[in-house]
Amino acid sequence: MSAYPAARHSALHGGHGPVRLLGPFRLKDVYAAMARILIIDDHDAMREGMAVTLSKAGHEVSAVKSGMEGVAAWRKRPYELVITDLKMEGMDGLAVVKALRTDSPEAVVMVVTAHGTIEAAVTAMREGAFDFIEKPFPPDVLRAKADKALEVAATQKRVERLAARTQALEADATGALGTLVGESEPVQRLLAQVRRAAATEATVHLQGESGTGKELVARMLHTLSPRREGPFVVVHCAALAETLLESELFGHEKGSFTGAIKRKLGRFELADGGTLFLDEIGEVPASVQTKLLRVLQERELQRVGGEETVHVDVRVVSATNRDLKAEVAAGRFREDLYYRLHVVPLVLPPLRERPEDVPVLARHFVAKHAPRINRQVEGLSEGTLRALTRYAWPGNVRELENCIEQALVFAEGTRLEEKDLPANLHGEAARAALAQGTLPVPSGDRPLPDILEDIERQLIERAYTQARGVKTETARLLGIKTSALYYKLEKYGFIARGETPEG
């Protein structure tokens, strides 16, 4: 089987024109869909011509010269679209359609037929082929037909996911899964991990930036677990002083300190039989870490100022936007507590790493907030969706939801337009920023220089990966000199300091 590498679309290719970040640092900001396509044709020139055409359109294309090879390739790795010639020696296109549709009824197959064999193509469609294309055909017809077939394939995937979510919701009367919105591969992978982890009693640690939905995932872990009938209790560790946090977690006895006018049960006791979510666990002071470790190990505690030992049955889910390993190395977090909490780690992806979810989330937030803020708004314009998608979202999903709420306040029509968005997002501000050589990134939960450095590092990493480590090609993709690239590669740890330049 011969493979034709795609011209992979990423933040470095295609799209909305050049954006400048930190001086001469350039990229093209776009998130274009790339599909896996399999071509089966025993005519070398036809097979290779179709492969080149679709590769140039940004797809990952594999091409084989027989029906048997095609079915074998499919069974190793399913494709979003299969294009097969109808008349081939050995296993013909009709047999390919039958085999693939038997393996996977959702397979999208398009047949290529010579002039005068339309009847055979219709027969293939009766067997489940999506469409046919008649030889000879120009490249733009092939691209248009492939786009239409891929749109059907994408719709089928969305329907399958919706059906799976609906089935899960029917099993889960509280509907927690319905609140995690996203169709991207990272979100679907996270959902699968949440389902598996929820069925166990293992302690779960959630790692993710602010605004990525850690509390939401913690609630899902509880709702999908055998403890769903028990309480779900939240403690925001960073919001409480050391003395108050200890009392909140473990409770206190009357008279144990000034203001303790009666006994108070702590959050561990309140969560007995259910789940306790410890948000921002990295902010817990050392004295409380010691007591927390004991509860996790022994399943028992003593209230502040008390002598009674209280036994608790609690599943703990913790979360932080800090690197706990680094905190352990720095001596600020107990290593034994780290391993008690870090039994099942789940990483929540930032929104900038799943831009395909931005339109889905934006529509979700319009549907959620429009009835309360602006009933006449029913959707978003294409320009608005483009503006939202090209933004970096340092505040993640929380920032996007806030942005939609603001836009709803100022919207005058039935759709959110670019002009309704905050000034740093709508088209005029973006174009002005580009003209000045800057990337429009607002302030968020982190200092602006940190946000810019983080974006620069990620974009360099993407280009370096795409160029397979070739420095000159990486510099070309980024639009900077090789000498400048070496400085940045050293700065972000991609190469050792002083590494000799090559390639």
Interatomic CA distance for residues 63 and 112, integer angstroms = 14
Which residues does 209 contact at the CB level (< 8 Å), separation at least 6?
321, 348, 350, 396, 445
Tell me which DSSP letter residue 501 carries. P
Question: pLDDT per residue over 357-379, tens digit each?
Answer: 999 999 999 999 999 999 999 99
Q: What is the pLDDT of residues 431-450, one digit of tens each?
A: 444 444 444 444 445 555 66
CA distance 128 to 95: 11
Nearest Cα neighbor of 185 from 359, 345, 352, 357 is: 357
pLDDT at 288 over 90: yes
User: 287 pLDDT exceeds 50?
Assistant: yes
- Quick one: average pLDDT of 185-206? 93
For the chain, give the mean pLDDT: 80
Domain boundaries, the chain: 33-155, 185-347, 351-435, 448-491
pLDDT tens, position by position, 20-49: 233 333 333 322 357 889 999 998 999 999
DSSP collapsed to 3 states, 293-346:
HHHHHHCEEECECCCCEEECCCEEEEEECCCHHHHHHCCCCCHHHHHHHCCEEE
Amino acid 459: pLDDT: 78
Q: Is a pLDDT exceeding 90 seen at residue 14?
A: no
Q: Cα dist. 430→20, 54, 390, 422, 434 in Å?
A: 12, 32, 10, 11, 6
Q: What b/e readout covers 332-350, taking b as 16+ CB neighbours within 10 angstroms?
A: bbbeebbebbbebebebbb
**488 or 496, which is more confident:** 488
Highest mean pLDDT among 161-165, 175-179, 340-344, 463-467: 340-344
What pLDDT does residue 115 have? 63
pLDDT surpassing 60 at residue 502: no
pLDDT of 388: 92
Question: pLDDT-based confidence at 335, cuts 50/70/90?
Answer: very high
Model pLDDT, residue 321: 87
pLDDT at 295 over 80: yes
Question: 122-140 in b/e burial notation, b at 16+ Cβ within 10 A?
Answer: eebeebbbbbbbeeeeeee
CB 109 within 8 A of CB 130: yes
pLDDT, tens digit (0-9, with 9 covering 90-100), for 417-427: 988 988 777 54
| pLDDT computed for residue 301 by the predictor | 92
Averaged over 230-246, what is the pLDDT?
89
- Please tell me the predicted confidence (pLDDT) of residue 329: 92
Confidence of residue 19 (pLDDT cuts 50, 70, 90): very low
Q: Is 63 exposed, middle or buried (0-12, 13-18, 19+ CB in 10 A)?
A: buried
- Residue count (the chain): 503
Sign of the C-alpha dihedral computed for residues 91, 92, 93 and 94 taken in this order: negative
**Do 351-435 and 33-155 fall under one CATH topology?**
no
Please tell me the class of the 33-155 domain. Answer: alpha beta
Q: How confident is the model at residue 356 (pLDDT cuts 50, 70, 90)?
A: very high
Topology, domain 448-491: Arc Repressor Mutant, subunit A (1.10.10)
CATH of domain 351-435: 1.10.8.60
DSSP run (H or E) holding 479: none
pLDDT for 183 equals: 86
Whether 292 shows a pLDDT value over 80: the answer reads yes
Where residue 169 falls among pLDDT bands split at 50, 70, 90? very low
Query: Tell me, what's the pLDDT at 433?
Result: 45
Q: Confidence class of residue 307 from pLDDT cuts 50, 70 and 90? A: confident
In this prediction, residue 371 carries a pLDDT of 93
For residue 157, what pLDDT band results from cuts at 50, 70 and 90?
low
Asked if residue 180 has pLDDT above 50, the reply is: yes
CATH architecture of 185-347: 3-Layer(aba) Sandwich (3.40)
Beta-bridge partners for 40? 64, 84
Element (H, E) at 109: strand 109-113
Q: Report pLDDT digits (tens) over 61-99.
A: 999 999 999 999 888 776 889 999 988 988 998 999 988
Determine the pLDDT at residue 107: 84
What integer pLDDT is reported at residue 496 of this predicted model?
62
Grade residue 495 by pLDDT with cuts at 50, 70 and 90.
confident
Contact 121, 112 (CB under 8 A): no
Hey, is 229 helix, strand or coil? coil
pLDDT tens for 378-417 read: 999 998 998 898 888 888 999 999 999 999 998 999 999 9
CB contact at 8 A, 393 and 351: yes
